[in-house]
A and B are shown apart, each in its own frame.
Chain A
Amino acid sequence: MNNLAFTSIKDLRVLLAKKEISHDELLNFYRKRFEQHDHQIKSALEIFDAPSIKQRACNVDIGLLGGIPGLIKDNICMKGRIASCGSRILEHYKAPYNATVIDRLSQEGALFIGRANMDEFAMGSSTETSAFQRTHNPWNLTRVPGGSSGGSVAAVAAGFVPWALGSETGGSVRQPAALCGVVGSKPTYGLISRYGLVAYGSSLDQIGIATRTVYDNALVLSVMAGNDSRDATSISDRLLQDKKFDFTKDLTGKIRPGLKIGVIDNALYAEGIDPNIVEALETALKELEKLGAKIHHISLPSMDYSAATYFIISRAEAASNLARFDGVHYGTRSKDAQTLQEVYELSRANGFGIETKVRILMGNFVLSVGHADQYYQSAKSVRRIMREEFLETFKKVDLLFSPVSPSGAFAFNAFKENAVQMDLQDYFTCSANLVGIPAVSVPCGFTDEALPIGFQLLGPDYSESLIFQTLHAYEQQTPYHLMFPNVK
Chain B
Amino acid sequence: MAVISREEVLKLARISQIKLAEDEIDYMVQQLEARLSYVTILKSILEQHKTADNAEGQVQTLVNIMREDVVKSTDSEPLLQEAPQREGNYFVVPVIIKQKPVSAE
A: residues with CB less than 8 A from B are 93-94, 96-97, 189-190, 203, 229, 232-233, 236, 301-302, 304-305, 307-309, 311-312, 319, 323, 326-333, 337-346, 348-349, 352, 354, 357-358, 360-362, 364-365, 368, 375, 377-385, 387, 419-420, 423, 434-436, 461
Contacts and interface: CB of A to CB of B under 8 A. Distances in A.
B12 A349 contact: no
A352 B60 CA distance: 32
Contacts of B18: 345, 348-349, 352, 357, 360-361
B20 A357 contact: yes
B94 A343 contact: yes
Given A96-B78, A346-B19, A419-B31, A381 B60 contact: no
Contacts, number: 155
Contact of B46 (A330, A381, A461): A381
Nearest to A419: B31
- Tell me what chain B mostly uses at the interface: helix, strand, loop, or mixed: loop
Interface string B56-90: 11011011110100000000001101111100000
Nearest to B84: A333
B24 interface: yes
A361 B12 contact: yes
Given A349-B20, A365-B12, A189 B32 contact: no
Contacts of B65: 229, 232, 236
B17 to A, nearest CB: 4
Contacts of A331: 82, 84
Given A319-B16, A339-B94, A385 B52 contact: yes
A136 to B, nearest CB: 26
Interface string B24-62: 100110011011101101110110010010111101101
A387 B56 CA distance: 12
19 contacts: A96-B79, A307-B38, A308-B39, A311-B38, A319-B16, A329-B82, A340-B93, A348-B19, A354-B24, A358-B28, A358-B32, A362-B32, A365-B32, A365-B36, A375-B36, A377-B56, A420-B34, A420-B38, A435-B59
B104 interface: no
Contact of A338 (B19, B56, B57, B94): B94
Given A328-B84, A364-B15, A420-B34, A308 B41 contact: yes
A385 B45 contact: yes
Contacts of B12: 361, 364-365, 368
Given A354-B24, A361-B16, A337 B94 contact: yes
B32 A340 contact: no
Contacts of A348: 16-19
B13 interface: yes
Contacts of A384: 54, 56-57, 59
B7 to A, nearest CB: 13
Contact of B54 (A189, A236, A309, A381): A381
A329 B34 CA distance: 35
A212 B84 CA distance: 41
A233 B28 contact: no
Contacts of B57: 380, 384
Nearest to B23: A354
B48 to A, nearest CB: 8
A358 B31 contact: yes
Given A340-B93, A343-B93, A436-B60, 17 more contacts: A94-B82, A96-B79, A190-B60, A203-B59, A229-B67, A233-B62, A312-B39, A330-B83, A341-B17, A349-B19, A380-B57, A385-B45, A385-B49, A385-B52, A419-B31, A434-B59, A436-B59
